[in-house]
Amino acid sequence: MCIKVSRNVSITSWNVNGLFRKLSGDRICKLDDENFSNIMTSDIVCLSETHASSKDILFYNGYKCFTNCRQSKTNRVWGGLATFIKREILQGVKLIDKTMSDMMWFKLDKNYFGFEKNLFICSMYIPPSNSSYTMRTNCDKQIFEKLEQDITKFSLEGNIALIGDLNAHINVSESDYITNEIDDSLDDFLPINYIADAVLKSRSTEISQNTNSYGKQLIELCISAQLRILNGRTLGDSKGKVTFFNHNGTSIDDYCICSSGFLPSIINFSINKFDPTVSDHCPITVNIMSQIKRQPPENLKTPLKCIKWSNEYENTFKLNLLKTDFQPIISEIESLAEIPVQNNLSSVEEKINENVSNISSLLYNAAFLGPKRSTFRNNKSKFRKVKKTLL
């Protein structure tokens, strides 16, 4: 029997402007930065522009990491995606497509999360249109073409959510939906089954920016696929806050976009605090309503035995501790210091956890697995008295 647990599912996206930095000649990973830990609390964390190669091991405790690294013929690495998913919800999330290096599609199972339909999330990054990489590869055209194809395909199976740094500038006057007052001239443009929005809050933006080529394509995609931009119209970001800061100015580059039918499931959307020591982008977070189905833990099926502590156990515990050989564990812990320091060395953390578990087992065994006390009841009815015969 499954247990339904009502909880929000939080999804964060952040262009980290490189996951590694040089410090005194050493290559240090930002995942170890204290400022980074404030963001690594969401159920799903989508990082873009990681500048990580396939040789880099990205690890964060409690999460499973899925990477999509951009191929490079030189030692310099650009772009790259990394998505961290909490292990406690891993059962309901599946990576379904990462054929393009700047896109990763995940499926959130409707049965596990209690959604009406499956949710298909695309963590993505669109390089600036004027970057040398874009002009050399025409990757922006490829991204928009694949995005349109994927949305068409996955919309047949569920709802859509796009999140990431899209480098799209959209003027506040641009509308991503069509009202019920549809012009007849749009009949040839819209799908036959298109349902116009009756009421939808217009977007707001904290700054004024002109719509660029990406913005135009994004608006057209939203209208045709019935997707809605959360920035500037959702609880938590009603003003349409800035997401990018640099010496040239500020802009709104990072977006979360979802199917119009999925809007009632959105609790809030927020632009998180800007931290210039980590990135020139702000993290963005969306919270979604869900009812996660979980199997009850195995150990709850059998009642736990209650052990009554006594002075006798205390003495036994002390005696058993004196007899316990801790030297193998001490040697194992000392050997950890000899391992070379590397970025996100997951094996070190696994060994530490293993040693902590072993120490806990030794202490438990010393306390409760000592000589058992036998309890006798003086029940005269169960014993027969034997009369001694006189010689």
- Point out the annotated binding site: 15, 49, 165, 167, 280-281
Q: Which of 112, 140, 254, 281 is catalytic?
A: 281
* Token pair listed for 95: 């990576």
In one letter, which amino acid is 214?
A: Y
Q: Which of 60, 125, 214, 255 is catalytic?
A: 125
Q: Rounded to an integer, what distance in angstroms lies between the CA atom of residue 377 and that of residue 382?
A: 10
Q: Rounded to an integer, what distance in angstroms lies between the CA atom of residue 258 and that of residue 265?
A: 10
Q: Rounded to an integer, what distance in angstroms lies between the CA atom of residue 201 and that of residue 41?
A: 30
Beta-carbon contacts of 20 under 8 Å, excluding residues fewer than 6 positions away, are 27, 28, 29, 30, 51, 52, 56, 343
Contact 214, 169 (CB under 8 A): yes
Q: Rounded to an integer, what distance in angstroms lies between the CA atom of residue 285 and that of residue 163?
A: 9
Does residue 281 have an active-site annotation?
Answer: yes
Does residue 165 have an active-site annotation?
Answer: yes
Q: Which of 102, 165, 237, 253 is catalytic?
A: 165
Please report, in range form, the residues annotated as the binding site for Mg(2+): 15, 49, 165, 167, 280-281
Beta-carbon contacts of 368 under 8 Å, excluding residues fewer than 6 positions away, are 307, 313
Q: Rounded to an integer, what distance in angstroms lies between the CA atom of residue 20 and that of residue 75?
A: 14
* Token pair listed for 197: 């929005």
* Token pair listed for 69: 């690294």
Q: b or e along 189-205 (b: 16 or more beta carbons within 10 Å of the residue's beta carbon)?
A: eeeeeeeeeeebeebeb
Q: Rounded to an integer, what distance in angstroms lies between the CA atom of residue 246 and that of residue 274?
A: 11
Catalytic residues: 125, 165, 281
